[in-house]
Copies of this chain bind each other. A is one copy, B any other.
Amino acid sequence: MANVKAAIPKGTRDFGPAVMIKRNYIFDTIKKVFKKYGYQEIQTPTMENLDTLTGKYGDEGDQLIFKILNSGNYMLKAESLKQNGDELSSKKLLPIISEKALRYDLTVPFARYVVMHQQEITSPFKRFQIQPVWRADRPQKGRYREFYQCDADVVGSDSLLNEAEFVCIYDEALSQLGLKDFTIKINNRKILSGIAELIGKPYKIVDLTVAIDKLDKIGLEGVEKELLEKGFATADLEILKPVILLAGTNDEKLNSLKSILSKSIIGLAGIDEINKVLNYLKGFTLNRAKVELDLTLARGLNYYTGCIFEVKTNEATMGSIGGGGRYDDLTGMFGKEGLAGVGISFGADRIYDVLEELNLFPSTTTESTKVLICVFGENEESFAIPILNKLRQANINAELFPFGAKMKKQMQYANDKSIPYVVIIGGDEMESGLLSLKTMESGEQVKIGIEELVGKLS
C-alpha cells in the first residue's frame, strides 16, 4: 500500500501523555464535585439522527454540523432524483446521502435523551455529561473543530436551590483547581425584561441586551452609539444609563433596582429570584468565589428565561471560563412541553490554558510511574524482577527498563517520563543486596534494602 503522510484533519488535536494527565486532572476534579452535589453521569452517542440536530442551532449552526455519509450506493438514489428533472444541488443531495451527523453540543442530545428515557428517569433529573462535540468552524487559535463540553443540568425542578448549588459547584471546582480570584456573575432575564419595559420598548429586548452585554468591551459610549443605531432614543439612554451603571454591593444594587423597576411585575419577579438565590447562598460556605450581580450580563438571551451565570477569572487574561442559566422549555422540540431546567457548563479548554498560565497544575501526580528500575545486563534483570513484583504488590507504579540499553538512555527515559525515583542495579547491588536509589530531582543517591525501598515509596 502507498505511504500516507501522518497528519490529522485541521482543527483536531492529538493529546499526548503529559497533556492527558492535565486534562484528566481538570475533568476528574469537576466530576467529583458534580457527584458530590448529586449529579449523575450519562453519555450519548457521537452520532445523532440528522433531524435531531438540524433546526436547533439556527441556519449558521446547521451549516457547521458535520454530516455523515450513508453507506451503500447513495448515488443511485441521487441519480433517480435527477431523472425526475431536479437539479442535483448540494442542498437537495444532502437528505439522500446523509441521515446522521456528529453532535454539535450536549444540550440537544440531552433533551432527546430526557424525552426518549422519560419512563426511566427519576425527577428531578440531575445529570452531567463530559464528551466531545464537533463544529465545522474555521479553526483558529483556541477554537477547534473537536472539543470537549462539560455540562451539568437539572430538569424537572423549579427550585432556586438549584441555582444556588450551581454557584457552589463553580466555587468548589474552581477553588479545588487552585484558582484564587474569580467572579461568578449572575443576572436574571426577567430583570432585563423589566428594564426593557421601563424604557417602554419590551419588543426591543434583544437589541438592548446585545448592546449592554458589550459594556465591558466597548464602554458606555460604544453601547450608547449602538443603541442609537438600533433605533433607541436619547431619552431611552437616560433611563438606561443609571441602571446599567448601578454600583455597590449586590444588596445595594438590588435595593436601587427594586425602586427603579417598582412598576414592572416581571422585573420585580427577577429581583425576587436573585434575592432567593443569594439568600440560599448565605447558608453555604463559599471558598474563593466572588458572587456579583451584573445587570449587563445577557449570554444567549433567547435561550434563558430566569437566572443567567457567567464565570470569569480575575488572575488571567481570558474570556469567560463557564456559564449557564435557566430555560423554560428544553424538550418541546421533541414533543414534551413544559419541562424546565437549569444548567451550567465549564469551559475546559480555557480552564486548561488558565491553569497553565498561572502554573497551577500539580507538579506530581499519582498517575505516573513512581520508580524505574535500571539494570546493567541480563543477570541484573533477573535479579530485578522479584523486586519489581514486590513494588507492584505494594501498589507502587513501577517499571523495569528491559536489559540491553545504555544507562544514559535509561536515565533519559526516567527524565522524559518525569519518574521521580530510579533504582540502579549492577554487580555491586546484586552482591550486597543493597540497591542504589537515586532521587531524580536532587540527584541524591543512597543505598537501600529492598523492604526499606518498598516502605519508602509506599
Binding site for B on A (CB under 8 A): 1-9, 12-17, 20-21, 24, 35-38, 40-49, 51-52, 55-56, 63-64, 66-69, 71-76, 78-79, 88-90, 93-94, 97-100, 102, 112-113, 115-117, 120, 122-124, 126-127, 132, 134, 136, 145-146, 157, 159, 161-162, 168, 280, 283-285, 333-335, 367-369, 372, 381-382, 385-386, 388-389, 392-393, 395-400, 402-404, 412-413, 416-417
Contact = CB atoms under 8 A, between A and B. Distances in A.
Given A4-B334, A159-B402, A403-B159, A42 B69 contact: no
Binding site of A, secondary structure by majority: helix, strand, loop or mixed? mixed
Contacts of A36: 392, 395-398
B49 A3 contact: no
A413 B122 contact: yes
B116 A6 contact: yes
B71 A79 contact: no
Contact of A3 (B78, B123, B334): B334
Contacts of A161: 381, 400, 402
Contact of A9 (B47, B78, B381): B47
Contacts of A117: 14, 16
Contact of A35 (B8, B52, B397): B397
Contact of A284 (B41, B68, B368, B389): B389
B69 A4 contact: no
Given A1-B56, A66-B68, 6 more contacts: A7-B112, A14-B113, A38-B372, A122-B413, A122-B417, A123-B413
Question: Which of A8, A56, A88 has the most chain B CB atoms closer than 10 A to its own CB?
Answer: A8
21 contacts: A6-B112, A6-B334, A7-B112, A8-B49, A8-B112, A9-B100, A14-B113, A15-B44, A36-B395, A36-B397, A38-B369, A38-B372, A38-B397, A46-B46, A46-B102, A67-B68, A67-B69, A75-B89, A97-B97, A283-B386, A284-B389
Nearest to A127: B17
Contacts of A35: 367-369, 397
A448 to B, nearest CB: 20
A14 B44 contact: yes
B6 A335 contact: yes
B38 A399 contact: yes
A162 B389 contact: no
Contacts of A52: 4, 6-8
A283 B334 contact: no
A190 B107 CA distance: 53
A162 to B, nearest CB: 7
Nearest to A371: B38
Given A6-B112, A157-B402, A66 B69 contact: yes
A30 to B, nearest CB: 14
Contacts of A335: 3-6
A382 to B, nearest CB: 7
A379 to B, nearest CB: 13
